[in-house]
Amino acid sequence: MPLRIGNGYDIHRLVGDRPLILGGVTIPHDLGLLGHSDADVLTHAIMDALLGALSLGDIGYYFPPTDPQWAGADSLKLLEQVDQLIHHKGWQIGNLDTVIVAERPKLKPHIATMRDRLAAVLHLDPEQIGIKATTNEKLGPVGREEGIAAYAVALLVKDEG
Ligand code: MG
């Protein structure tokens, strides 16, 4: 089959003393995401979707949180490595579709920048990357602003030849 599909999910806890980084973009906010790396939940969900599409496992396998090498890591750098792995295996990205679930802040003003940044890392047209943002209607941990979650779906297309 010349097509493969993958999905990814991630959630990180919101705390008071961290920057909020989503899709490689630092977003002004009074809370930020806690994690071993920069905790970019959107980029992590995308990486898991890409790895999942080729049944290659998950980011915890490639970039274990126990490895000091990844402390404070720029998730876009990790995404670059996952993208290289996909290409080495003979696949390219058809498109990505994602959802960020966050009660605050308003993400709409930042979505175009996130698409541009992710597209640059993945050598894609921003038009191949969908990013949607929704609140959780104040329900559950995301609704109580204890964390931000992200979902991603990736379609991979086999290289010609
Ligand atoms: Mg994560």
* CATH code, domain with 51: 3.30.1330.50
Number of domains in the chain: 1
Helices and strands of the chain, counted as H and E runs: 5, 7
pTM attached to this predicted model: 0.97
What are the CB-based long-range contacts (under 8 Å, 24+) for 73-78? 73/36, 73/37, 73/38, 74/24, 74/37, 74/38, 75/21, 75/24, 75/37, 75/38, 75/39, 75/40, 75/43, 75/44, 75/47, 76/24, 76/40, 76/43, 76/117, 76/118, 76/121, 78/37, 78/43, 78/47
Q: Ligand 1 centroid vs 147 CA: distance in angstroms?
A: 12
Q: Ligand 1 centroid vs 161 CA: distance in angstroms?
A: 35
Q: Ligand 1 centroid vs 56 CA: distance in angstroms?
A: 17
* CA R_g for the chain: 15
Strand pairing category for 32-33 and 3-15: antiparallel
The pLDDT of 116-138, averaged and rounded, is 98
| Position 161 pLDDT exceeds 90 | no
The pLDDT of 126-151, averaged and rounded, is 98
Q: Ligand 1 centroid vs 96 CA: distance in angstroms?
A: 18
| Residue 133 binned pLDDT confidence (cut-offs 50, 70, 90) | very high
Domain assignment of residue 54, given as a range = 3-158
| Position 65 pLDDT exceeds 90 | no
